Amino acid sequence: MPDTPTVVATPRSRVRVPLRFQDGYEADAELVTFHGLADGQEHVAVVLGEPGPVPLVRLHSECLTGDVFGSARCDCGPQLREAVERIADRGGVLLYLRQEGRGIGLYNKLDAYALQDQGLDTYEANAALGLPEDARDYTAAAQMLRALGIGELDLLSNNPDKADQLRTLGVDVRDRIPTGVFTTAHNVRYLRAKVLQTQHTLPLAALTELSAG
């Protein structure tokens, strides 16, 4: 688990950006960049709606294949689209974190995909490459939240590790709210592995039935 960050991050710039999605949904956002992030990555906060005392927050790890190209091998693209609308409706922040492939990088993620095509699940494939199952550290995310004045939040996530790390880092996660379930013929095994290996909040029985079918 990470330690509470001692380096203080500060906002670097703020810019208004109108968001337009392929399904026609639109939202106005403020994108915030930062100085002093612990990992030196170019993470971005997407502020949506009118955040209240307990905003809705999602930590969304970058996924080029899912977010940009619409890959059906994961649920990242639909989760991103859903999160923007839900956060805009309530008011809050989406932290877009440059943590491709659960922190192993794009090329390694694609190497892991090749091993998954041979029968390994998403975690076994990482291990076979000599990589962590999940290399993500949310210290920078906690810094970003503090820089935005957010100390208490509801977390939009199926992943208990995100909430656990934020709490360890001194952020008050009041509640963890599951995202929707976005299954395709290509991602059911991936989603089922997340439930079995890292206790994601997803309906295991339904995913098992879909995987078997």
Burial of 195-206, coded b for 16+ CB within 10 Å and e otherwise, reads beebebebeeee
Is 142 in the same domain as 199? no
- In the set 81, 90, 136, 192, the catalytic residue is 136
Per-residue pLDDT for the chain (213 aa), expressed as one digit of tens each?
565 556 799 999 999 999 999 999 999 999 999 999 999 999 999 999 999 999 999 999 999 999 999 999 999 999 999 999 999 999 999 999 999 999 999 999 999 999 999 999 888 999 999 999 999 999 999 999 999 999 999 999 988 999 999 999 999 999 999 998 778 878 777 667 667 665 566 555 454 555 554
User: Among the options 75, 111, 134, 192, which is catalytic?
Assistant: 134
Q: Is 146 a catalytic residue?
A: no
User: Is 137 an annotated catalytic residue?
Assistant: no
Q: Kindly state whether residues 54 and 16 are assigned to the same domain.
A: yes
Up-side HSE of residue 129: CA atoms within 13 Å toward CB? 23
Total tally of structural domains belonging to the chain:
2
- Residue 115: inside a domain, yes or no? no
Q: Which structural domain range is residue 31 located in? A: 10-99+136-182
pTM: 0.89
